[in-house]
Amino acid sequence: MELEGKVAMVTGGAHRVGRAILLALARAGADVVLHYNRAEAEALATRAEAQALGRRVLLVRADLSRVEDIESMFAEVRRTFPALHVHVNSAAIMEAQPVDEVTAADWDRTLDLNLRAPFFCAQHAARLMPQGGVIINIADVAGLQPWARYPVHSVSKAGVVMLTQVLARALAPRIRVNAVAPGPVAKPPGLAAERWQAVTQRMPLKREGAPQDIAQAVLYLVQAEFVTGTILTVDGGAHLV
């Protein structure tokens, strides 16, 4: 898919990886829908950057753990743009917790945002893609291998992997659905700097990735017309060790 004149939406698009994805889509020619929840200052700054590229930008605020907020958000998108062509589920949380300290509230908070929200966002996005489109989920290598320090996050991202494959089957051939599974790109909250350095030094490439690496993977999946149901790992070779 060529992005010139198309509309792309990114949840969690205000900062970090989501910001890099949104700006990459804008540079490629797409008008963009920038979702955020709490990061208002970052959202306004990212909107200004995308507008400076000559793109239309719709800024939408929503708590994606609330299905009614998701419905309202997509109603606003529908009022602004006639169709959606690309949707990226990037919003997520990641909390380090020992298994024996996880509460039901912890579980619900993570699963609601990391897994339930991508499902309902994809459902609504697909309804705005009558002529076809692309949905991309940002998974995590923690969904492909167990991360005992982040148990609920790891389970939620494993769900995103299966969600991607289910949606790819269910929405084909009209809509392609893929996922990117980032590795060490941004230091997880709660992880000491020296431990983070040790993690990156064990990797074959001996360095952490950048948000732009994930954005490039998203652009590839947008443009790769014969790819669906794929989980693209972008981890500097960390899965090899």
Which residues are bridge partners to 233 per DSSP? 181
Positions marked catalytic: 150, 157
Which residues neighbour 238 within 8 Å (Cβ) at sequence distance 6 or greater? 141, 183, 184, 199, 202, 203, 204
How many residues would you count in the chain?
241
What are the Cα distances from residue 234, in Å, to 48, 71, 120, 169, 183? 28, 31, 25, 23, 6
Q: Which residue has the tokens 């350095």?
A: 197
Contact 179/239 with Cβ under 8 angstroms?
no
Rounded Cα distance between 96 and 150, Å, is 5
Contact 137/121 with Cβ under 8 angstroms?
no
Lookup: tokens for 106 = 């912890």
Q: Quickly list H helices, 28-150.
A: 40-52, 67-80, 104-111, 117-127
Rounded Cα distance between 59 and 47, Å, is 7
CA 181 remoteness from chain centre: 9
